[in-house]
Every structure is written in C-alpha cells, then in structure tokens.
Amino acid sequence: MPAKLRSNRYGKSRIRLMRLTKHLNLHDLDEWTVQILLAGDFESAHTLGDNSNILPTDTMKNTVYFVARESKAESMEDYAKELIDYILTRSPQVTSAEVTIESTLWKRIAIDGKPFPTAFMRGSEERQNATIARTQNGGKPGPFTITAGLDHLTVLKTSNSAFTGYIKDALTTLAETTDRLFGTALKAEWPYTPAAIAAGIDFNKARKHIRDAMISTFAKHESLSVQQTLFAMAEAALAHTDILDEIYLLMPNKHNLLVDLSRFGQENPNHIFVPTDEPHGTIEATVRRA
C-alpha cells in the first residue's frame, strides 16, 4: 500500500550558547540552550532522498551563533524573533519556524555585600524558557506567537498548609493534617496575547513580575490543598497583568514525611522529616481569565 507524508519538521536541538555582553564597568551573562524546528516543502527529501530544499542542521547551529553576535536583544524572546526572521527571509521553502530557548540562571558573586560586576555563580536548578514561532506564506511573514515559562522552580513553606476532608476508604492510610510542609517544583507556561507581542513588551520585566506574583502568593496563601494554592497563584499572575489571558501550572507535591520518633521515646511535633521525591503527587491546571 503506498504511503503519503502527512506532516514533518526537522531542525537542531541542544545548541549551547553562552553570551557575554560587555558594558563599561559591568558584564551581563546569558546561558541559553536553543532548539530550532522548521516546517515546509521537505517532502522530496523524505520520499526521493532529494535534499535540494534542506538547510543543514549544522548550518542552523552556526546561525544561532552568528545571529547572537549581531543581536542587541536583551531577552531570549527578542533574540529568538531575530533568529526566526533571519532563517525565514533566507529560506522561502520554509513555511514555519519555531525556536525554543531554555535559560540557565547565573547570579553575580557578592563581595563585601555588593554584587561583583564580572564574576558569577550558578543559581538554582530553575530553568526559564520560551517558545517563539512564526509562519510565512509566499515570503510574507505572519505574526509571532510567544509562550514563556519556567520549570524546576523549587519552593517550600513550613506553615499555613493543611490537607483535610478528603475521601477515605479501606486503602486510605494518610492522616489528616492542619500543619504540614508544602514543597513543590513549579512549572508554569503562559502565552502572551497578540496585542502584547505587537506592542513590543519588555519580556524580562514581564517574566519577573509574573514569577514574583506567583511566588508571593505561594508564601502567603493559607493553603487547604495544592490545588487551591495552584489556582490562587495562577489567579495572582492573571490579576497582575493584562498581557496574558491564561496560564498553565504544574505543581508536583514533593512530600516531606514526618518521622515516627515515639519508638525512641521522643515526640515529633513537626520538626523531623524525611524529604522524598518518589512517589509524588502531580497536580496541574490551566487557568483562564474569566
């Protein structure tokens, strides 16, 4: 039976880029991992082995570095827009290009209480990311779509967290509690509205404010469940700005198990725990503006 190509994309992944921006008395450092995916007229490469429309993925890797050297972008979103346009304007056979960038966090080393201008240390395991895409038809580009986010933002609170009133059956062993440790490794994604993208917003500032709104809510919220706190954090992000209409949050419940010290003749009023990652609860939701 003959086969027909339904869809295809190809590109280059895990392109590592360290970009140093030198100012007069200060250096800025960005470490990005870039992925490029292209869709377009590539059927003959699959069905006939004809590579005449194929831009080598090694060329894509080199393009990442070339565009980075010329770029004045201060955010990974704006850099990705430049990278996409560079590829689209030189590749009429490409109908759409998507760039995903993951940022590794670096922070300045503090000396005598002051950030040193040219020395850095790795921050947390948090990753900040963005996916930027654009289509073109007959050489005419369409609008950009931009989804930003973060992952592995690990936070923990030691008070104002409870879990009671849940279903109990013959297999339920979990005890109710009004005082527990609540830890999670937050993943969040939010698409910017077309109006916000067209307006040329400051993506770094927007990300910081959205992130701060969620973290502040996590710390202050009187939590009755992970679900309730997740919703409150998403609600706070939406209330903070009108440049997004929805946000997705994934919050695994990273358990900290209370150690039974009674066999040693000791009380344990929520002081000694065993942190564990496996198994963990998984809670996710997409929250839209009402």
Catalytic residues: 12, 57, 255
Q: Considering only CA atoms, which of 289, 131, 151, 147 is closest in space to residue 211?
A: 151
Tokens of 165: 């009133």
The answer to whether 24 and 13 are in contact (CB under 8 A) is no
Largest CA distance in the chain: 78
Q: Taking the CB of residue 279, how many other CB atoms lie within 10 A of it? A: 9
Torsion, Cα of 237, 241, 243, 248 (10° steps): 10
> CA quadruple 226, 232, 233, 234: dihedral positive or negative?
positive
Residues 6+ positions from 240 with CB-CB distance below 8 Å? 209, 210, 213
Distance CA(118)–CA(100), nearest Å, equals: 28
Distance CA(101)–CA(178), nearest Å, equals: 41
